[in-house]
Structure 1
Amino acid sequence: MKLWHSFVKELVLASRSFYFYIELFMAFIFLFLLLFVIPEQFNSKSDEYVYWDMPEAGRDLLAEQALDADENGVAETVALEYNGESVSATLYSTETQNIYVLGDRETAVNLADEERAFAAIVHMDDVGEVTYTYYLQGYETERLRNTYRVFHNEDTDILADAFDNQDVRSLETEHVLLTDRENVIPSFLTFNGSLMGLFIIASYIFLDKKEGVIKAYAVTASSVWQYLMSKMGIIMLTSTVTSLLIVIPVMGLQPNYLLMLVFLLATGFAASALGLVLTSYYDNIQQAFGMLYVLIIALMLPNVAYFIPSWNPTWITFIPTYPMLEGFKEILLTNSNVSYVLLASSGFLVAGIALFLFANVRFKKTLTI
């Protein structure tokens, strides 16, 4: 009962503090971005600039092929702004590319050189031999470079037959992917639950240290662990509520909310326990700012790997926010990997208990210092 009364008291105090409303404000910001700023699907089309250096008959043939590949079957004349001037180009739009056919070689080369655009020159000599010159930017992968070499050193009919005869088997036919908007939610939940929780509990503790609340426990019958647990309870409650506020309007009934609740509580417990350990070594937030900053930056690194799958070094998987991101993503899917989420929840719970016990010992020592 003492723990419950302590929790209720801390909840009342927290509701009157500035930090409590920061969490709510951030949740509404995330929700606004999801509903009104982030599109359902990002436009992933690449812009390519091409000059057809060949006789008129060759251009007509390529234009005919480009029209067949165009989504609407219609070529569009557009004006490109370049060096303060308007340059006319013909646009062919496919599912993955916006191909701008330019009127001269110089414009294509300058766009590649000055605007860092992808450009190509298709040249046909007097005997009908076609060659391709690509202007790359240096960041292209070796796989893409090799693809160009293979494509232009092998008969296209042979390549087409090889693609058509390739045996492709679906290992899971009922797998449903998240939209680009939904795919951003795990990152928001990780930030809201772990990084914000870490910062907010640190702010609460440092405020109490400044007002002498923690020192007062040395002459009271209340236990330090009850005080710490009530603080963690506030963080877990607010992070759970704000996380649901972010997810429900966007995802509806699709996620497994029972599984989400378990995961939110486990990750919130671990994050707030880590915050307690951090605050046990400093007297105020000014002293802890450097360490808090470094810790938050380190915890944000898995977000880079999450949005750029090609960069996924092994060491980054050991950062706690990495399994958080994967866990939230699994929960949002209709066919969630329940065993992974429960295993990750157990790991965060064990880590949180260990950190909490250590923080309790540390705070008891500070009472006599």
Structure 2
Amino acid sequence: MKLWHSFKKELKLASKGMYFYIEVGVAVVMLLVLLLFVPKELDGRHDEYLYLDLPQGAKELYLEKIRSEDLDGQEESVTLKQGGRMISARKFVLEDVRLYVLEDREAVIRYAEEEREVAVVVALDPDDGLAYTYYLQGYESEKLRNLYLIFYNKVVSMEEIEAFFDDVEVRTLEGNPQMLNDRENLLPPFLTFNGSLMGLFILAAYVFLDKQEGVVKAYAVTAASVWQYLMSKVGVILFASVLTSIILVAPVMGTGPNYPLLLVFLAASGFFASALGLVLTSFYRDIEQAFGALYILIMVLILPNIAYFTPSWEPAWLKAIPSHAMLESFKEIILDRGDMGYVLGASAGFLAAGAVLFLFANHRFKKTLTL
């Protein structure tokens, strides 16, 4: 009962302070970004600018080939702005590129030199074959340069390259895998930041504020237990974490996610993050002294987000950072057929680690009450 009374008091105090509303406000801003600025499917096509330095007959044949690869089989006449000039062009939307065919060779080259766009000039070589001149920026990888050379190599034809790839055996490890759209794919990093990591910072702010006002020292002369004070703080953070996470998930995912499992994992990961925040605050008197350590800690915990968006970079040591398991667990939760075993295992791990950290924080606070 004392713990419940302490939690209600802390929640009431938090509702009158700005930190609680900052956390809710950040969740609302994230939700608006997802709904208003992130489409369900991002357009991954890049722009290319092409000039055909070919005889009229060859040019028409080349354009006909491009039309056959256009998604709707049509070309669009557009006007482009380059500096103070207006340039007419033909626009084709292919599977992975938006192709603009210009009648001005110099304009195409200026797109490469001034606007860092991909520019290509197609002409006839001495053997009446097609010669492609790419205007590169200098930062292209050697693999990309070699790929350009292979595409237009007279010894190795495109038909031979396609035949090689067709002969490569592809095995699907999972039948009918579920895919998240681009908007849904942003939810795990947002939930990791707002549902767990932000709680660490907010809890530290609460405790340092109490230290400045002498609330923590007062426990040295009262019959109240320090662990109840600390747990009431954790409870407020968990309440805010659940509230802000539901604000993010429900409008984007609807009834799809496993909400009971989401609550379990939020409680476990939030408890771990809060306990980690308590340990950190036990070593410093105010947030100014702790800022450096807090900043480094949050930066380390954010590192797995980089690997999340760049799957080609995921070193083994990154999996040891707790936020990596948070990301993977949130992703499994919002999937219809997510791995419940992984999420429950991660929840148990965070709960156990959080308990150890909380006990250590409780010991530290008891030891430093009068300092």
Counterpart Cα distance in 2 of 1:313 and 1:84: 48
Deviation at 1:102, TM superposition (A): 1.8
Following the alignment from structure 1 to structure 2, what is the Cα–Cα distance between the partners of residues 138 and 144?
11
2:332 equivalent to 1:367 = no
* Residue 270 of structure 1, aligned match among 250, 269, 272: 272
| One-letter code aligned to 1:258 | P
Corresponding residue for residue 99 of structure 1:
99
Write the distance in 1 (CA, Å) between the matches of 2:10 and 2:126.
Answer: 84
Aligned with residue 259 of structure 2, among 245, 253, 257: 257
| Secondary structure of 1:174 counterpart | coil
Q: Is 1:113 the equivalent of 2:125?
A: no
Does 2:38 correspond to 1:61? no
Aligned position for 1:195: 197
Question: CA offsets, 1:145-171, max 9 Å, x none?
Answer: 333232222112223333444433322
Alignment of 1:198-209 (within 5 A): 198-209=200-211
- Residues 306-325 of structure 1: CA distance to partner in whole angstroms, max 9, x if unpaired? 22223333333332222211
1:191 and 1:28 map into 2 onto residues whose CA distance is 13
Question: Displacement, 1:46?
Answer: 0.9
Kindly tell me the number of residue pairs found equivalent between the two proteins: 369
The corresponding residue for 1:303 is: 305
TM-score normalised by structure 2 residue count: 0.94
Indicate if the aligned counterparts of 1:54 and 1:125 stay in contact, CA closer than 8 A. Answer: no
Which amino acid counterpart does residue 58 of structure 2 have in structure 1?
Answer: G
**Over 4 Å off, 4+ runs:** none
Report the equivalent of 1:179. Answer: 181
Cα separation, partners in 2 of 1:260 and 1:159, compared to 1, 3 Å: same
Question: What residue is the counterpart of 1:233 in the other structure?
Answer: 235
TM-score of the superposed pair, with normalisation by structure 1: 0.94
CA displacement, residues 266-325 of structure 1 (integer Å, 9 cap, x when unaligned): 110111111111111111222222222222222222222222223333333332222211
> Per-residue CA shift, 1:70-97, capped at 9, x if unaligned?
1121111212211221122211111211
Q: How does 1:1-369 map to 2 (within 5 A)?
A: 1-125=1-125, 127-153=127-153, 154-369=156-371
- Residue type of the partner of 1:226? Q
Distance 1:46 1:354, change over 3 A: same
Shift in alpha-carbon separation, 1:250–1:52, aligned structure 2, 3 A: same
**DSSP-derived class of the 2:186 partner:** helix
**RMSD (CA atoms):** 1.8
Q: Which amino acid aligns with 2:324?
A: Y
Q: Matched residues in 1 for 2:139 and 2:182: separation?
A: 24
Letter in 2 for 1:331: I
For the residue of structure 1 that corresponds to 2:59, the secondary structure is helix
- Separation in 2, partners of 1:101, 1:284: 62
> Mind listing any 5+ residue stretches in structure 2 that lack a counterpart?
none
Deviations 1:49-107 (A, max 9, x none): 11222211111111000000111211112122112211222111112110111223322
What letter matches 1:352 in structure 2?
Answer: G
2:131 aligned counterpart, secondary structure: strand
SS in 2 for 1:281: coil
Q: How many angstroms apart in 2 are the aligned matches of 1:299 and 1:136?
A: 37
SS of alignment partner, residue 57 of structure 2 = helix
Tell whether the 8 Å contact from 2:196 to 2:266 is kept in structure 1 after alignment: no
Where does the alignment leave 5 or more consecutive residues of structure 1 unmatched?
Answer: none
2:192 partner amino acid: T
Secondary structure of the residue that 1:199 maps to in structure 2? helix
SS at match of 2:290: helix
Instruction: Specify the code of the residue in structure 1 equivalent to 2:181.
Output: T
Please report how far the alpha carbon of residue 209 of structure 1 lies from its aligned counterpart in structure 2 after TM superposition.
Answer: 0.9
